[in-house]
Amino acid sequence: MTSPAAGKPIRTAITDEDGIDFAIIELFFFAYRDFTSDPDQILADYGFGRAHHRVLHFVNRRPGLTVAELLDVLKITKQSLARVLKQLIDTDHIVQVQGPRDRRQRELYPTAKGRALALALARPQSRRIRAALEDSGTTERATIERFLEAMVNPELRAQIDIVPAQTSGKNHGDH
């Protein structure tokens, strides 16, 4: 059972006494696990995975972004994106349009089908968030927004602000 030179078992639980915030670390894990489980079930019907969801989401959020921009947001490599993007194009969820200024670029846009799927995937997630805000008595979602934004690496926060969240009205300055 225990190999000869094995260390002795520690029988006490690790706690926050070391100044480490295990409570929130663990909650974040559970919350994200369940947050992603909603769309996962829908995606399975299409033979898609989480990667397809992420691509679909950002193409809907920033229609016309290029492949390079998408790679930058997702923080994955071109090769990882290739298969997923090809499947979404083949199934008519996303279309490529040749860049107007630079014809090497491929601008990515959702089709009506892709828009519908993106909404269907987001719906249960949004419902979960709304319920959580109500259940937890958090009247101001701004608190949660600020916290989550502060959890993001400062140098990457620029990515978030590309799409005007919801309060600010208009700045889609893309062309």
Site for DNA in 13-72 (CB under 7 A): 47-52, 54, 66-68
Stretch in the footprint of DNA (CB under 7 A) among 75-83, 133-141, 146-154, 155-163: 75-83
List the one residue from 3, 79, 139, 168 that touches DNA (CB under 7 A): 79
- Please identify which residue in the block is written with the tokens 């109500």: 134
Q: Is 1 helix (H, G, I), strand (E, B) or coil?
A: coil
Structural tokens at position 41: 């079930």
**Distance between CA atoms of 20 and 93, rounded to whole angstroms?**
44
Q: How far apart are CA 81 and CA 70, in angstroms?
A: 9
In angstroms, give the least distance from the CB of 166 to a second copy.
4
Query: For residues 107 and 49, is the Cβ–Cβ distance under 8 A?
Result: no
- Closest approach, Cβ 104 to DNA, in A, equals 4
CA nearest 57: which of 75, 34, 76, 73?
73
The binder of 51, among DNA, a second copy, none, by C-beta within 5 to 8 A per type, is: DNA
Among 9, 77, 79, 173, binds a second copy (CB under 8 A): 9
Could you tell me if 56 and 118 are in contact, meaning their C-beta atoms sit under 8 angstroms apart? yes
For residue 170, the minimal CB distance to a second copy (Å) is 10
> Scanning residues 102 to 161, which ones bind a second copy (CB under 8 A)?
106, 109-115, 118-119, 122-123, 125-126, 128-133, 135-138, 141, 143-153, 156, 159-160
